[in-house]
Amino acid sequence: MKKGKTCEASSASDLPMADRSLPVAILCGGRGTRLRPRTDILPKAMIPVNGRPMLDYILDFFRTKGFCQFVFCVGYMGQLIEEHYRDAPPGCRHVFSCAGPEASMLRRLWAIRDLGVDRFLVTYGDTFIDLDVDQFSRAHEASGAVATIVTAPIRNPFGIVETDADDRVTKFVEKPVFDHYIGAFIFETAGLDLISQELLAMADGDGLVELFNQLANKGLLRAFRHHGPKITFNTETEHQSAEDFLGRYFTFKEQL
């Protein structure tokens, strides 16, 4: 595949949706610098995993769950993604939003504020989650929150020590389990009005985290705990793990 062009900033106001079904917004505009030289010629979400772009697996998963509206929030080499996915399968709609190659994740989300939907589901273009989307959606609707993020348990490999001002140990926990964010959330479109220019100006990732913190402080952020399979990759070792996992996952699904 030839090296693609860098996208130019565009507005999402001209991105028509076929209906008001919950759209899936895929954040796929990052540079993936830790995967160079692969990402010198391809956007990270287009890196082949067992011969197919990572985005293929994400789209296949959501289509089997009945989703048909997809918004590709592109950036770095976004033209390659648009060229590859321009022709949507029958019954599906693919739209492309580009806030510019240097835009943060939060700015990419803010750019799709004019889609004409009440809420949208967000996932990352380098992350596959075997998500119970029906339960996830019901949990969000029942919560009354602006956003519901997907979390998963992770065990800290160390003994965690807490001390007071005099270095007296007040607590010792061996290998505690925490919840960590795994790269998917449902967001109410009205919540985009809470995004300030200061947040939009923050570095990639920082603005989104700060928005989540602000929502949490107002009691408007909820968590949905996922206990099933998930995979993402940022390094060559993780890429190999993604190939092994997704190869087994989709082979198993095809045998059912």
Q: What is the pLDDT of residues 118-153, one digit of tens each?
A: 889 999 988 888 899 888 998 998 999 999 999 988
Whether 54 and 126 have beta carbons less than 8 Å apart is answered as yes
Whether 150 and 185 have beta carbons less than 8 Å apart is answered as yes
For the chain, the average pLDDT equals 82
Q: Per-residue pLDDT tens for 33-52?
A: 666 776 677 788 888 888 88
User: CA angle 36-42-46, nearest 5°?
Assistant: 115
Q: Per-residue pLDDT tens for 195-241?
A: 999 999 898 889 999 999 999 999 999 999 998 878 777 667 777 77
Sequence-ordered alpha helix ranges (H) in the chain: 54-64, 78-85, 105-110, 133-143, 197-200, 206-217, 236-255
Over 60: is that where the pLDDT of 111 sits?
A: yes
Over 50: is that where the pLDDT of 256 sits?
A: no
The CA dihedral of 181, 193, 104, 240, to the nearest 10 degrees, is: 30
